Amino acid sequence: MKVNVCGVCGTDVKKIEKALVDPPRIFGHEIAGVVAGLGPGVGRFKEGDPVVVHHHIPCLACFYCDLKLYAQCPIYKANGTTAGFEPAGGGFSEYLKAAPHIVERGTIPIPRGVKAEIACLVEPVNTCLKAVDQASVKAGETVLVVGQGPIGSMLMQLARIRGARVLASDLSSSRLDLARKLGASTFDAGEEGLEAWVRSETSGRGADVALLAATGQRAFDAAVSGTRPGGRIVPFSATSKGETYEIDLGLLAAAEKRIVSVYSGSVDVQEEAAELVFSGRIRLEELLTDFFPIARVNEALDLFRRPLPGTLKISIDMRLA
């Protein structure tokens, strides 16, 4: 596959900063490009076809796949796309190779007219849709999304697509402006009183579901305190070992609140996630703020670590000089 665009994901940055995997690696897994070559027996595609590839696809035949815990499948855990060295996505490169099971079950044709910079977001939309569904978000419920970066915005929009009313918080006024534009009620997380505001918006109860799309103890506390008794809390932003928060388990248990863990994507929502992206039902164009050529990938990672006031989705565009 010849890569056109690959989004920068926080998981990539965590793996680099925390040395979660041994180097050398070529990261990048939000990938859109065109077929550049075919192995024997590949009949679904031809050279030049625009495609999205997922880097993790399960075997669909093991103990964990039978339970629909696809991210625990050994085949799923073995990264299926590589640009050399140990497989690690490979999207931050000009070309990559996809394993047969990725070609068979994890490669999606991009419809005519859909931009590569939009299409590459199928993978993060998939992970966010899995989280919304694993939290059992239902029509008529109220969902609190803590954090309105690109992932928070996706979670917020998908909760609304599932029929929920969404309350969103963030420290950035520009992100809150966008959240309101996309249909959420908002609160400035830099001010005191988030829990009281959530309760005032929910007849005194609190949100049915809280989706955590920000890091830090304060953000986690906001998700826990903003959730009603019996509600569900998804710490979506915590994805690697060593990310710890303190919580009063007695208060959590007494209120019968549930922590719902979720990780990575799901083949069960793969087609729907692609349709949402390709049709424009989830609005992503407004999230695209920064594009870097491959030679400036380290600048892109630095911007991710220290975003500027307007920074949202950062992407590597192989078509840029």
Tens of pLDDT, residues 62-74: 999 999 999 999 9
Confidence category of residue 302, pLDDT binned at 50, 70, 90 = very high
Does residue 241 have a pLDDT over 90?
no
Q: How far is residue 163's CA from residue 183's CA, in Å, rounded to a whole number?
A: 12
- Name which of 100, 135, 121 is nearest 209 in CA terms: 135
pLDDT value, residue 288: 98
Cβ–Cβ under 8 Å, residues 130 and 159: no
Lookup: tokens for 306:
């220290």
Task: State pTM to two decimals.
Answer: 0.97
Domains with residue ranges and CATH for the chain: 2-123+265-317 (3.90.180.10), 136-259 (3.40.50.720)
Tens of pLDDT, residues 3-41: 999 999 999 999 998 888 899 999 999 999 999 999 998
Task: Provide the sign of the torsion angle of the four alpha carbons 216, 78, 274, 269, taken in this order.
Answer: negative
Q: Which long-range contacts (CB under 8 A, 24 or more apart) does 38-43 make?
A: 39/100, 39/103, 42/103
Report residue 165: phi and psi, to 5°.
Answer: -90, 140
